[in-house]
Each structure stands twice: as structure tokens, then as C-alpha cells.
Chains A and B, each alone.
Chain A
Amino acid sequence: MKATNMKKVITETRLLLATVMAVALFFTATAHAAAPGITGPTFNLQASPAYITQPDGSMVYSWGYGCNGAPAGFAPATIQTTFCPTMQLPGPTLIVTQGATVTVNLQNNLPASAGNTSILFPGFNVTTSGGVAGLLTQEAAPGATVTYSFVAANAGTHSYYSGTQGDLQVEMGLYGAIIVLPSSIPADCTSGLHASNGAAQAHWGENDFRLAAAAFNNAKACYDREYLFQFSEMDPRIHHEALVQVNATAGCAAGAPGCSLNVATEPYVPAFFMINGRSMPDDMDSNYASQYPHQPYNGNPHMHPGEQVLLRIVGQGRWQHPFHEHGNHVRVLARDGNLILSASNANDLAGPALFTTTTTPGQTIDGIFYWTGKGLNWDPYGHSNRADVPDPLAHLTCIPDANGYNTGAPTAINYYEWCQDHNKPLEVAPFGDVARGGPATLPNANILANGAWYGGSPYLGPNATVRAVGPTGTTPPSGTVANPPTEEAAFAYMWHSHNEREITTNNIFPGGMMMMMLVDSREFQIDEQN
């Protein structure tokens, strides 16, 4: 393709993407994440083909696991709109309790020419019944079934994926996650700060979207909110070749001469980089959004200051991806469901604290993230004792607990504020009703360009934003506001692959392995249901 043509194509696709994004943003205003899945302990799955969608408009022929009949249930129960299609990417998240005997019945509904398929459950001691012998495990022949059974011995996040011709079948989408909830919850998770974080959520009318109160039976593994992120990539050439060959062999009898695929899986040039089967901005649409019938899971994390947020991070596909969490570090609790503890004290963590959590195929990380604003050296709520500021919310108190946070009253709008910076000004001479006498002079707004997720002021939350810049806040010239100054005004952070090439979708920026994480002030209600 000549360069001029390429430019035209990219320009058009960028315009298209802008349109798609604008539409997507319309939906994202209330779309949050959680870690949804199906419950067992018996799971009737199938491997089936379907088309998934990408934000550049591509429909990509893929294979995935899906439900073979209605599942035993969906979790968390607070998500009411759910479905489990015959094929989805990633496969259904299997949610079980530690100690349960898990049974997975897999039916192979892939095209006959795709041959056998199977599932591996790394980290578990699997027994099989039925099926036919394969290299790594028992396999389901086309149209047939195989049964896997294991005891969910280790809590935490695990992965499952095809054990048959993995270079093709995993690439085509045959992978998913297993979440094993601990069999008992430490008392610390339902008392103290975790209890008051829960009380704060309840006060603002927020439901509890957690699967459990702890990731493991360890007091350091308590959490207040959780998100699951599965990383994978796709080379569209492989999918196209598979489709061509499947069509060419349509209706062939399994095992008959010529009833097979011969798709080259190298050289490997992925063009789609996905989190939970979706590329940005699709990943920020809701869970179970109707426009993604085969990609039900999203990536759209929200949290309030002080909440301990469990990140369940899974590497799928075949490449490693450096997942960079803006805003703070992540304390690694466990790898592949194995807690990493101090050699001298089993109550203490020994995993690293990382700002970039590398995802590795077949590997999982459970980690805790939080954001409090500690150490900014200015009050992000814009509190002030200025007598000329009439808004009583500008004059709240901050009473530090033993760690310096305002946690005494879970109903306070500045619950979990970092008190050492309370009332401390940012700006030398602010325009609005926030503290003055600070270190920074903000430039004329004309030399700045505002982003779609910019809350409209340096401050956190609608109240502070309106006090700082006026009743409507500031908006980008595009008028596209994904974080409205008067409604949300969150601090927004990009969570993305830091192999930055991977935050593109088929040569288009932005896209790929990227999402925005929003730290919301208390007055914004986080609703993770759709």
C-alpha cells in the first residue's frame, strides 16, 4: 500500500475510532468492573467458534469456551444482568470455594477440522474421565465430551486453557480464569478499617460486588473491591487462515483424510492487544454489554480513596506484557495462587511492591492496590478555612487515625482523607473557593489541552472542582467528557501495557491494552453492576 493511501486509511480509521469512542464514552459513564463469573462446582462447558469484535470494526473469527446449558449460577449476585453464551472470550470465569471438588464437563463443538480440544488446569491435581488420550491430558474429539475433576486446594486466581495444539487453540481464544475463594475469612477482613470501608460504601448506597472479603485465608489478603484482568493478544492473519481452512473443510467428517487444519502460527505479528478479550475503548463498556455477545467481561476499575483493591491479573496468550498501574504500587500477594510470605513470619507478606506487574502466559498474580493521596503535600479536596468561602463542605474536619487518615466517621464525605495535608493549599492565588498561599501557579488555560477524563480542575470530586473552577468545571474542546466535573471529577489514571506499542488496535492509537482507572470521591456512587 502506498504511503498516501495508508495515511488516508489511518485518518479514516482514526475518525471512525473517535466516533466509536464517543459512543463508547456514552456507555462508560456508569460502567464499572468487578470480577464476574459463573459458579459451580460442576461446570458444563463447550468449546465453540464465534466472531468477536474489535474497536476498529473488525469481526475476528475465534474459538472460545462457553456454557453448555445454563450454569449453576452467576457471581457476584449483585450483578443482575448476566449471560453465559456458547462461546466467549475469555472463557467463563469459574468461581469456586477452596476445598470444593470441581467438575468440568467439556464438549467439543469446534469445527470437525479443528480436531480434538481439551483444558489444562495448572496448579491443580486433575483426574479425567472420558475423552481420548492426548499429549498433555485427555481430550474431547469433535462433538464428544471429556470430564476433568480436581479439588480446588489453593485459593486465589488461576488460569485454564487448551492443552491441545496450544499455539493455535490458545491463540484462537481458548483460555479463561478460575477464582478460588478461601474457605474461611480472617476476622480482620470484617472488622476495623475493612468494616468502616464497607460502612462507607453502604452509606453512599453502594452494593458490595466482591466475591469474598479476602483473597486468601490471611489477614493481609483482605480487600474492599476487586477486578480481574486477563491479557492476551491476537494475530489476525492466523484467525483469517483458520477461517478460510474451516470453510474449505466445512462438513468434513472428523478424522477423515483432509479434515484438518494446517495454519502457520509463526511468524507471529499480533495486531490486537486485549484485556478481558476487549481492546480499549471497548473494555470500558459494561460487563455483559449487549454489543459484545461473545466478550462479556470489561476492564473499567473504579475505587474510593483508602479502599484496598484486589487485582487478579492473568497472563493468557503467548507474550509477556508489562502492565503499568498508574497512581500507586501493587503489593503482590501471591503468584499462581501461592501466597508469598516472609520466611520468619507467616503473617507477613514477602511479595514485591510493583508499579509494573508483568503478565506472563499461564501465570497469575494476586495483588493489592490502593490510593489515598498521602504525600501530595496539598489537599486534593481543596479544603480551606477561608472565611470568604461559604460552602460548608470546604470546612470539614480531618481527624487523623494512627496512620494519619480521617477514618473515624465512615459517613464523612472526606472519609479516608490524608490529614497531614488537610487545608494545605496547592495554588498561590486560586481563582475559586479553595485554599490559597500554596506553591504552584497554574498557567493560563489557553496553553493547555484538556483530556476527556480530566476532571476539570486539579482537585478531587465534584464539590472541590466546582469550588475551584466554577459551576460547570472545564471541559475539553471536543466536549467529550468521560469524567464530568459536576458529577464525578475523579482522579483518572491510565492502566496499560508499557510496551506502548500494545496500546494500539491494528495500527490505530489509542486502543489495545489500556483502560482508565478512576479514583472517585465519596459523593460519586460506584456501581459495578453493568
Chain B
Amino acid sequence: MFSTKPYHAWLPILLVCLAVAANAQSFRVQCPTTTVTHPTASNVEPPYTGATTFSTSSGGFLTPSAHVNGAIKCQQISGGDGFATMGDGTQTYMFSFGPLSGLADIAAGKPGTQFPNVFNTVYSGAPFQPGDPATTVLNGGAFTYNGAIGLVPNLDANNGTGTTGAPVDGHVDPRPIMDVAVLNGNIPAPLMAIDEDDEFFLTLTNVGQVMRPDLFEQHTVHFHGYPNASGFYDGVPDASVAINIGGSFTYYYLAPDAGTYFWHCHITPPEHLQMGMVGQIYVRPRQNRVPVGNSLYAALQQQQADLRTKCDSADILCTNPLPASNAVTRAASGKYAYNDGDGSTLYDVEYPLQIHGFDPNFHFVGMTFNPEGFTDMKDKYFLLNGRSYPDTVTDGPLATMTTDGSMHYSQPLPSIINIPAGGKALLRISDLDVTEYQTLASLGIPMKVIGINAKLLRDQSGNNLFYNTNSITMAGGESMDVILDASDTTKYPHGSVFFLYTPNLDHLSNDAENFGGLMTEVRIN
């Protein structure tokens, strides 16, 4: 019937079509196991024993020759919608991000950021249920999977020989993604944590907003505060690309300097931020990875050998220059907020704490098919990690039943500050309120402010500029690092309870209900 000639003529075109089809897959994830910067597959943070040294590769660029620091980390999130439960029991509609990797960790209040060997684990259990992990857990089951939802071996890349030998290259099956992500929004958005020198592959998968079929909202990720950001990965839709419904985009970041950052969608910010598309990300310093007993000062001196990690007054934005020479060594336990070189930012436990506010009228209008007004926006729910008091002192994830009839972990991150007796807690506080300034005060334990806007408070001469205060005031778009020092066990004994609360007294309410709002407990354990 067919001559072979036309067949040969069509074959290249057919192959091109296949290739395009594979590349054009709308949903996909990216989590390479090796890169130029991390040439050997590794799923641990190596100790920091010296600055990375480089040699020039055949490609004409520098590749590490010794002291490869950091690792590869990956995370997948959804952009969509969901519902959250307010302190007065109201279920509030949100535009929101949800977890699509690290689901078990997120449900446990931990960051959903994973090493490649966890992220790239292909799931093999019973099919995911809408609302998972809440649906499975609340039915008495166990949910332990932390890999990328939807990840499957790529049969297209395997010449049709079945699953045997098919590579796990980021190809996904969209069905489990939709099953898990639809109406699965979180407030705050999934927690992220990376270490200095990491490469971070963050995939945003836009699953659409089933409650608003009239909208075709794109979403983005703005890594707020990323120093020397590229315009491309800054997440501002006007200045870059935005991700349509049905698509995935992988943001690529080399971890910036240590500090408390945060992230949010940058589409129509007064709308998408008010509606709930706000999350937390922090970067841990390489000083954590200095072997126990080694000099912190010497480790900071070592950092000066790599021009990327060097920090002195030649750079006007350097805020952690060498302090006065000292003999402080890496503590046997605990972590540091910054590369301080003097141990002054040591803490025992850390709590990301995000301040936000919801205007119920705006959220109601946002659930209907009407445009919202901005001028009259007025928050009535005041949130710490998406919760108002008394939900702030509830352990574990908060679940909300959404319009799909399933329970979802809408507010996975608790906001109780548990400090071991005699210990120090680092509060990584960020504010993404879109309407007004809010104040957070500490009753009992003074707040020691050690960092502002993801920068250590230190002058160019190396003097720490920490200060004690009873309250901090922040607007949307700011972050602070605050240490609650409970090392005096006489003042702060085991079993005692203190409070973080707002002296903006009208913010101690949940809409019409009194005794709520921006307040939580600090418990000495």
C-alpha cells in the first residue's frame, strides 16, 4: 500500500514530533543527582573543612576540584486553591500552594525539602487518595512517602521496552498529582529549608483552582530577599515568565547567604498574597557543618578563600565579617543562625513563624466570581503560621474538610514554641501581611534580635549589634531572627509557659470573636 519512500521521508518528522512530545510534557519535575557544582552523587551534607577550590574544565568554566560543599536539594509544590480553618471555626477559601513532595515531613511540621535519593523515589503503595496524607492518616493508615508525587519511570525514553531500565528522569504521571494537589492548599505554603552551598531545584506545578473555573491564574515563586537574584528566576510575572495551569516550572537556585527568607507568589500580589500564597524558606549556614570542636573563627577565615563566600568591607553588603579573634569551637549540639565566627548565634531549637492576616470579606469575594476591592481590605484574622489562637497551641497539623468532601492538612505547621529547659530557641519570623504593620511581643523571655532581613546584625568592624527587646514590629516583606534565651532555669523553669502575643490589641481576635488572634505559647519543657 505504501511505498517505502514516503515512509522514510516522514520518519524524521515523526521522530521530531515524538521528541517534542516528550519535552513538551506539561507536568514534570527536575532533581538531577549530579551537576557541575556537585559532580558526585551525594545525599548528605558533607562537613565543612575548607573553601571549595576550582579548576577549569574543558567547557571553559570552573568546576570544583576539592572541598565540594553542600548538596543537591529538591522540592515540588502545587499552585492551586484550598480551604483553611480559622480560629473561630470558619472555613476560609484560599488561593494557595500545597506540597507535592516531602508530604510526610510537611505533615510532621518539617520542611519538605529533600535530597535527590528521597525526592527521586518512585512511589509504589496504594493509590493516593484526595486529601492525602490527611485522608490516609485520619483513617488510621500510615503515610511515610516523601518523594515527588507523580514521579514514574520514563517509558518514552526507554525505546518501548517496558519499565525495565526506564530512567527516572523527572517524567511524571499527572493523575496522582491532580489527586493529591487539587484543593490541597496550605497556609503557610510548604516549608523549605536549604543549606549554604546547596543547589535547590524547586518545581512549581500549577494544578488550577477548581473553585474558580472562571480564572486562568498563573502562579510563580518569588524567593524574597535572594541576593543578586536573576530577573529570570525572581518570580515576578511582569519581569519574567509565569506558569500556566497544567504546567510545571523548575526554579534553580544556588543557596544564598544564610538567613531567614520567605517566598510567595508574585501574580497580582495584593490578591494572591492576601488569598494565602505565602510560605517560608530559610538557609542554614555552613558553620553548622564545621566538625564539632573545631574553631569557628578559623572556619570563617577559611570561607575567605573562596571569593563567593568571602565577606569583608570590600563588599558593602557583607554583614558577617570576621569578629574579634576568639577560641570558640563548634558546639557538640545545637545549630547557628549565621556564619558568626564567634558562636553568638547558637541555638538549640528553631521555629519558623510567619505573620499573616486574612480579610474574610476579601476571601469570600475571592471564592465567588466577583473582582475584589483593594482599598477597603481589612484583616480580621491574624495568623501565626496560618493559625490564630487557640489553634496556635494545637499540636500537629490542622485539617480542614474542603468542597471535595475530603480532609486536607490545610495548616500543617504548629506554632507552639517548645524550648528544652535551659535552652535557646531561634524564632525565624517573617511577615507577609499585605495590609498593615503588626507587632509581636514576648511576655517573660526577652527577645534578642540577632538578624534582620536575612542578615546578621554586625557592623563592618565585626562588632555584633544584637539588641534585647520585648517586641518587634514588622510589615509584610520583612524578616527577623530572634533568640529566646531560656538558659536561666531559675527564671524559666521546666513546665513554665510564656506567651508571644500582639500588643495591637484589636489583633487579639478572630473576626467577631474575642480572645484569639496573633498569640501563642512558649513552653519550657
Contacts and interface: CB of A to CB of B under 8 A. Distances in A.
B453 A352 contact: yes
A375 B254 contact: yes
Interface in B435-478: 435-437, 452-455, 457, 459-461, 463, 465, 475-478
B80 to A, nearest CB: 15
Given A6-B373, A420-B307, A519-B231, A447 B239 contact: no
Nearest to B451: A352
B234 A439 contact: no
B374 A509 contact: yes
10 contacts: A353-B453, A356-B453, A403-B310, A423-B60, A443-B250, A447-B26, A452-B238, A491-B231, A491-B239, A503-B269
A504 interface: yes
A424 interface: yes
B124 interface: no
A435 to B, nearest CB: 7
Contacts of A404: 307-308, 310
Contacts of A490: 231
B10 interface: no
Contact of B475 (A356, A438, A443, A491): A356
B452 A354 contact: yes
A451 B238 CA distance: 4
A503 B244 contact: no
Given A322-B478, A403-B315, A441-B30, A435 B230 contact: no
Interface in A352-379: 352-356, 358, 368, 370-379
A335 interface: no
Interface string A50-93: 00000000000000000000000000000000000000000000
Given A6-B370, A424-B62, A447-B247, A322 B477 contact: yes
Contact of A447 (B30, B246, B314, B461): B246
Contact of B460 (A10, A342, A368): A342
Given A6-B370, A403-B315, 4 more contacts: A376-B254, A384-B60, A451-B236, A494-B238
A123 interface: no
Nearest to B314: A403
A350 B26 CA distance: 49
Interface stretch (A154-162, A238-246, A251-259, A326-334): A326-334
B428 to A, nearest CB: 15
Interface in B299-357: 307-308, 310, 313-317, 319
A496 to B, nearest CB: 8
Interface centre among A321, A458, A499, A510 (most CB of B within 10 A): A499
Contact of A437 (B59, B243, B266, B463): B59
B452 A352 contact: yes
Interface stretch (B32-40, B176-184, B401-409, B487-495): B32-40
Contacts of A516: 238-239
Contacts of B233: 458
B397 to A, nearest CB: 27
Contacts of A120: none
B287 interface: no
B238 A343 contact: no
B509 interface: no
Contacts of B201: 439-440
A327 B234 contact: yes
Nearest to B63: A424
Given A344-B461, A403-B315, A492-B236, A500 B247 contact: no
B32 A443 contact: no
